[in-house]
Amino acid sequence: MTAVGIDAIEIWSGKLKLDLPNTFAPVKGDDPEKYTKGLGLEDSSFPDTYEDIVTMGANAAKQLMDRKGLKPSDIGRIDVATESAFDHSKPVSTYIAGCLEQVYDGDFRHANKGERKFACVAGTQSIDDAYNWIKAGRNRGRAALVVATDTALYARGDPGEATQGAGAVAMLITEEPSIVELSTEQGYGSMDETDFLKPNQQFPSVDGKRSMQVYLARMREALEDFESVAWDTHPEDFEYIPFHTPFPGMVRKAGLLGFRHMIRDTEIEDELEPEIGRQPRETDFESREAFEEAIRAHMDELKRTDRYQSWYADTIAPTLELSRRVGNWYTGSVHIARASALRHAAANGTDLVGQKLLVGSYGSGAQAEIHAETVRDGWKEEIEGLNIDDQLESRYDLTWSEYELVHDVHEYDKETDIDVEEFTQPSGEFVFTGWGRMNERRYDYVE
Ligand code: CAA
């Protein structure tokens, strides 16, 4: 069977950054460690005044097309995943295609374009759509371009304000891909939930603590569903487990839950028994509450064991290195986690060919999806092509009052009375230039 998966990845970060321990925490009157240790974040990326979901997505896509030497006719599908769209009808993919057509010969006239919405899981769903389109033989030898792009902004003062971020991930989905092949098997955990939503509003209504519970519950269901069609997973099966990362602290909880699930009835549970006992089984308890209390106590002990900590350091921590520095990119977040792990492996000389990843995506509202990926021969060369480190180093470091201004500029309903200057100088990229006669957003390429 033909392998289908991710052939190339490019990342575009917003050009500004907000330093959480040094700029955000003092204004909020918080201990900086709430951010660095609790949430696990150093900085958030922000869009400059001339950036938005279209410019970031188009810039990531252009980097990808240039590096792979692609022309528009090589691409048969452009799917954009976002939860920051500004139009209920015209998809962001048409804007991104319009940008790219400014700089390439030819056009995307015969490419199928769309926009996927299911909170943060939509990026993975767009990859699914591309996978299915290729597997169905409808691609005529062409590749699919998937762009996950978001400005993850919260209302000022919302507890989510600390987890903001902005950036785009462009991915090329092809037959015989260079980076990873996707498994046919998938698991879902999906329920109608009211944890995080944007009913005709720019910034989300969030029940933060509940959203974390829902994330974990749906992720567990997705893993069980995956196992029902794949195999009983074991912690040593996977080199890395990239999860959707709204902030690294969330993944700390997901990693522990996953480990507990995977070691049940294995030699690892036997090995840990003298130290922390066996995992509580629900059938041994009279009430659900008593069982849950016992599980919480057991997990507290499990997370302190050397066995768990070394697994976490090897399998989960490398997926969080980029996220710590950029915040939540919503639809792009799990794809940043995968890239982060691969980048870590490349920097450490780890041979990954043939190794497996387990990828856990999540979208509020709510749905988790889990599938496996097998690393392919060309992964290292592709990942070494990323310039994300340079991008992160060159971000403009916002003061608090500049941050307030940038947040206002990007708030649709707010009139910013002064003509705000950009903080960075665009060069070789697409920029937002203003609105047209039908209130459409307009873009130019700046040499
Ligand atoms: N030193 C070390 N750790 C500290 C600390 C200190 N001085 N102060 C606090 N902490 C720890 C806390 O103990 C806590 O960790 P645990 O959960 O492990 O106990 C962590 O830092 C955060 O502290 P709080 O819970 O007090 O933080 P908060 O109440 O201000 O907000 C939040 C946390 C609810 C996640 C908030 O940021 C939020 O609403 N975020 C948006 C929603 C979100 O991201 N939800 C995630 C699941 S939904 C999803 O994944 C979809 C999506 O992308 C949005």
DSSP per-residue letters across 367-423: EEEEEEEEE-TTHHHHHHT--HHHHHHT-EE--HHHHHHHHHHT-TT----S-PPPS
- C-alpha 39 to ligand 1 mean position (Å): 5
Q: What angle do CA 41, 245, 298 make, to 5 degrees?
A: 90
With a 6 A CB cut-off, is 256 part of the ligand 1 pocket? Answer: no
- Residues 302-341: pLDDT tens digits? 999 999 999 999 999 999 999 999 999 999 999 999 999 9
Domain ranges of the chain: 4-446
pLDDT score recorded for residue 414 = 85
Q: Is 33 a catalytic residue?
A: no
Give the residue among 20, 402, 437 at the shortest CA–CA distance from 248: 20
The phi-psi region of residue 344 (left if phi > 0; otherwise alpha if psi is between -120 and 50; otherwise beta) is alpha
- C-alpha 82 to ligand 1 mean position (Å): 23
- C-alpha 444 to ligand 1 mean position (Å): 39
Q: The tokens of 255 are what? A: 């990693």
Nearest CA to ligand 1 atom 54: 246
- Residues 347-376: pLDDT tens digits? 999 999 999 999 999 999 999 999 999 999
- C-alpha 20 to ligand 1 mean position (Å): 13
Rounded to two decimals, what is the model's pTM?
A: 0.97
Give the active site residue among 42, 120, 239, 369.
120
- Coil, helix or strand at residue 334: helix
Residues of the chain with pLDDT under 70: 417-419
Q: Is 369 a catalytic residue?
A: no
With a 6 A CB cut-off, is 362 part of the ligand 1 pocket? Answer: yes
DSSP structural state of residue 315: H
- Cβ atoms of 51 and 408 within 8 Å: the answer is no
- Cβ atoms of 178 and 7 within 8 Å: the answer is yes
CA atoms within 13 A on the CB side of 65: 26
The enclosing H or E element of 360 equals: strand 356-363
CA atoms within 13 A on the CB side of 258: 31
Q: Is 234 a catalytic residue?
A: no
Separation CA 358–CA 226 (nearest Å): 10
Topology of the domain covering 4-446: Peroxisomal Thiolase; Chain A, domain 1 (3.40.47)
